């Protein structure tokens, strides 16, 4: 059952879609579970069971051209900036296994006190500003913390972190109406890579207690990561680990504000914060759309999708599928989600940074809620990000009431 663009439309570059993709997803799930957009050259899967099967089928649905629909990001070069996320096995497995030796759950656990300190620093500054009225939660907190955490993890000196954060912002920034990667973003990417190259060279000479050194020292049976592979992973952290966590923190604040009955118990019991984070990941996930390339032939819904075609997996839609969740359009903190969550993918490419993202969100929101007894979002002046694959806010102005 496929329906062409004339009847149902999915355009990941459309601003109306960015403002609220969920009515579009519902039509896709009901009317075109396998959707084809010949103009933009992709197929799309929107139902929970199909998206999950797509994530788990890493043989027929290949990552080797990257996971973005944007033309400049797709292609055999994608792994230079997206590391093993833009690879298939055996290369993917080799690289991921080596990286995992440095990027361990223990390293993340040991980072938590430092994440708390960073959160406190940015929150103190934000609360001071908030005292005189409205404050931009993204600019002052949600947009600062995740990149600083990555810099802390990698060993970027504190005096360089503002500059690194500005470069990372430049990599991700898109002006309205720009569907491909602009020249400024390419320049910011090159500057970031040059900075990291110098850092890798420095750690080769003088190891330190950080992730960069751990990656350089990671070894399995004599096999080690090359400098370029270390750089690719560092860049992946900036793209995949920074922006998505910023969006998660802002989405949590926005939907918490829109559902005060769900948030009220959180103020009294901070142990409910992880439940709030999980429901945010389900209800309005940062990572909405991921591209795959058909390798061989794929048969779905009585249709053969040809070798080499692009298939979009839509976790944003999967999470609102009433076939998988009861009352999926209601924001319910504490609902049963479990293994049905697809924000971090599934299968061979399950996100290596999932535990880091959850820890950051938990720490950040707990520190926020120890300081405030309420907040109001200025919806009229909030600004959504325009992106073909992530969803969240560029600006989220709010007023806060201190405890």
Residue ranges in 178-269 assigned as alpha helix (H) = 183-205, 211-217, 227-236, 243-258, 260-268
The pLDDT value recorded for residue 1 is 53
Q: pLDDT value at position 2?
A: 54
CA 376/CA 400 separation, integer angstroms: 6
Q: 């709010």: which residue's tokens?
A: 398
Residue 55's pLDDT is 98
The residues facing 401 across adjacent strands are 374
Give the number of other Cβ atoms within 10 Å of residue 206's Cβ: 8
CB 257 within 8 A of CB 376: yes
Task: Give the residues across from 136 on adjacent strands.
Answer: 397
Element (H, E) at 95: helix 91-102
What is the residue-wise DSSP string for 321-387? -TTTSSSTTS--TT---GGG--TT--GGG--TTHHHHHHHHHHHHHHHHHHEEEEEE-GGG-EE---
pLDDT of residue 186: 86
Residue 160 is classified by DSSP as: G
State the Cα–Cα distance between residues 62 and 296, nearest whole angstrom: 10
Query: What does pLDDT average to in each consecutive run of 10 residues of the chain (403 residues)?
Result: 66 92 97 95 97 97 95 89 94 97 94 98 95 93 96 96 89 68 85 96 97 97 96 92 94 98 97 98 97 96 97 98 98 96 97 96 98 96 90 95 92
Distance of CA 24 to the CA centre of its chain: 21
| Phi and psi at residue 246, to the nearest 5° | -55, -45
Look at residue 152 and give its three-state secondary structure: helix
For the sheet with 290-294, list strands across it.
Answer: 2-3, 34-37, 42-45, 310-313, 290-294, 61-62
Residues in the chain: 403
Q: Contact at 8 Å (CB) between 282 and 319?
A: yes
CATH class name, domain 2-402: mainly alpha
């Amino acid at each position: 059952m496929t329906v062409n663009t004339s009847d149902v439309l999915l355009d990941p570059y459309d601003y109306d879609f960015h403002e609220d993709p969920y009515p579009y997803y519902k039509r896709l799930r009901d009317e075109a579970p396998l959707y084809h957009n010949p103009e933009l050259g992709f197929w799309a899967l929107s139902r929970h069971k199909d998206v999950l099967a797509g994530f788990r089928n890493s043989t027929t649905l290949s990552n080797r051209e990257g996971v973005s629909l944007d033309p400049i990001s797709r292609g055999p070069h994608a792994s230079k900036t997206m590391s093993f996320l833009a690879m298939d096995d055996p290369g993917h497995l080799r690289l991921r296994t080596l990286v995992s030796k440095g990027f361990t759950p223990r390293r993340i656990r040991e980072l938590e006190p430092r994440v708390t300190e960073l959160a406190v620093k940015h929150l103190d500054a934000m609360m001071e500003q908030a005292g005189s009225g409205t404050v931009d939660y993204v600019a002052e907190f949600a947009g600062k913390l995740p990149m600083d955490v990555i810099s802390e993890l990698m060993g970027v000196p504190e005096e360089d972190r503002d500059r690194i954060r500005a470069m990372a912002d430049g990599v991700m920034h898109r002006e309205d109406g720009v569907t491909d990667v602009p020249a400024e973003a390419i320049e910011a990417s090159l500057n970031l890579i040059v900075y990291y190259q110098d850092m890798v060279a420095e750690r080769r000479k003088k190891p330190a207690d950080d992730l960069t050194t751990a990656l350089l020292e990671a070894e399995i049976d004599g096999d080690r990561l090359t400098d370029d592979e270390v750089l690719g992973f560092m860049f992946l952290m900036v793209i995949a680990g920074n922006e998505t966590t910023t969006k998660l923190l802002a989405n949590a604040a926005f939907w918490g504000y829109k559902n005060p009955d769900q948030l009220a118990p959180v103020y009294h019991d901070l142990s409910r914060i992880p439940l709030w984070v999980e429901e945010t990941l389900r209800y309005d996930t940062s990572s909405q759309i991921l591209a795959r390339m058909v390798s061989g032939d794929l048969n779905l819904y009585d249709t053969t999708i040809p070798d080499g075609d692009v298939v979009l997996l839509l976790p944003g839609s999967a999470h609102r599928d009433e076939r998988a969740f009861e009352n999926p359009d209601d924001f319910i903190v504490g609902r049963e989600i479990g293994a049905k969550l697809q924000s971090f993918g599934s299968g061979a490419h399950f996100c290596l940074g999932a535990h880091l993202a959850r820890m950051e969100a938990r720490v950040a929101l707990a520190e926020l809620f120890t300081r405030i007894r309420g907040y109001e979002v200025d919806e009229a002046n909030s600004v959504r990000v325009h992106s073909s694959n992530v969803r969240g806010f560029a600006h989220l102005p709010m007023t806060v009431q201190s405890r």
